[in-house]
């Protein structure tokens, strides 16, 4: 992200969350901005400099890949819940913002297994009440409890997704147990699903970080 072309973008999604809490492997890059940008110009620039291969461009969205790594550039014109984090030159959305985005994805789609896993792991840092409050701040036109309801509906999930958890084998029953507990105790911040490196992971969002907007 040292290229000034990326100055308006910040990392969101599973990779941002993985960098903050270290729960699973994720290399897809979801780069969001609240500002308008020129997808046609950006695609040409990325092709020339990084051998970018675009496969989708519409409105203020551009998607493609570089050396097998998927990149999504998207205008996401919603307010920040908390100041963004900058760590070692990487601009990241906060845990509360990521939680709100994950709940939004579940409410709107509900097919991505990784979204449910990420919300379950977020419960080690935020209560469901805090996540829903963040959701309401970021998306004030949507009822937060529509998102909460999605946490208990699994019929549309694509279970073919490959999941690589760090320090633990993936078990869907662990995720559903945590999601169920979250909906029953909205005010509770639960312990980490993966206790490996607990002290280090809790401190990651604060280490060498400063808030930015």
Return contacts of 168-173, CB within 8 angstroms, 24+ apart: 168/193, 168/194, 168/196, 170/117
Q: What band does 194 get if pLDDT is binned at 50, 70 and 90?
A: low
Would the pLDDT of 11 be above 90?
yes
Q: What pLDDT was estimated at residue 202?
A: 36
Q: Report in angstroms the alpha-carbon separations of 203 from 21, 128, 129, 130.
A: 9, 20, 22, 19
Q: Is the dihedral of CA 193, 134, 184, 206 positive or negative?
A: positive
Which tens digits make up the pLDDT trace of 106-144? 999 999 999 999 999 999 999 999 999 999 999 999 998
Q: Are 72 and 29 in contact (CB under 8 A)?
A: yes
Which tens digits make up the pLDDT trace of 182-191? 999 999 999 8
Would the pLDDT of 211 be above 70?
no
Q: What pLDDT was estimated at residue 2?
A: 86
DSSP conformation class of 139: -
Give me the mean pLDDT over the 72-81 stretch.
98
- Out of 45-54, 130-139, 146-155, 190-199, least confident range: 190-199
Domain boundaries, the chain: 4-34+76-212
Residue % of the chain over a pLDDT of 70? 91
Q: What band does 209 get if pLDDT is binned at 50, 70 and 90?
A: very low
Would the pLDDT of 95 be above 90?
yes
Q: What pLDDT was estimated at residue 9?
A: 98
Q: How deeply is 22 buried, as exposed, middle or buried, from its count of CB atoms within 10 A (0-12, 13-18, 19+)?
A: middle
Give me the mean pLDDT over the 48-65 stretch.
97
Would the pLDDT of 197 be above 60?
no
Q: Residues near 28 by Cβ (< 8 Å), separated by ≥ 6?
A: 13, 14, 15, 69, 70, 71, 72
Residues 159, 162, 166, 168, Cα dihedral to 10°:
50
Q: Residues near 168 by Cβ (< 8 Å), separated by ≥ 6?
A: 193, 194, 196
Q: Residues near 206 by Cβ (< 8 Å), separated by ≥ 6?
A: none
Would the pLDDT of 196 be above 50?
no
Distance CA 120, CA 10 (A): 23
Q: What band does 19 get if pLDDT is binned at 50, 70 and 90?
A: very high
Q: Beta partners for 29?
A: 71
DSSP conformation class of 190: P
Which tens digits make up the pLDDT trace of 162-185? 999 998 899 999 999 999 999 999
Q: Are 116 and 123 in contact (CB under 8 A)?
A: no
Residue % of the chain over a pLDDT of 90? 84
Average model confidence (pLDDT) across the chain: 91
Q: What pLDDT was estimated at residue 88?
A: 86
């Amino acid at each position: 992200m040292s290229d000034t072309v990326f100055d308006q973008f910040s990392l969101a999604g599973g990779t941002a969350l993985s960098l903050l809490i270290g729960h699973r492997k994720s290399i897809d890059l979801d780069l969001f901005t609240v500002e308008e940008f020129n997808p046609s110009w950006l695609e040409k620039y990325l092709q020339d400099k990084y051998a970018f291969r675009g496969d989708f461009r519409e409105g203020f969205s551009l998607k493609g890949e570089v050396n097998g790594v998927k990149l999504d550039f998207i205008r996401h014109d919603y307010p920040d819940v908390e100041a963004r984090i900058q760590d070692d030159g990487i601009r990241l959305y906060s845990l509360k913002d990521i939680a709100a985005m994950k709940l939004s994805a579940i409410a709107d789609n509900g097919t991505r297994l990784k979204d449910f896993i990420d919300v379950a792991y977020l419960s080690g840092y935020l209560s469901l009440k805090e996540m829903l409050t963040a959701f309401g701040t970021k998306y004030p036109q949507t009822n937060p409890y529509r998102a909460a309801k999605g946490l208990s509906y699994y019929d549309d999930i694509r279970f073919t997704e490959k999941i690589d958890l760090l320090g633990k084998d993936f078990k869907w029953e662990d995720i559903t147990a945590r999601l169920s507990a979250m909906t029953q105790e909205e005010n509770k911040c639960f312990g980490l699903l993966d206790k490996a490196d607990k002290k280090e992971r809790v401190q990651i969002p604060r280490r060498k970080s400063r808030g930015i907007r």
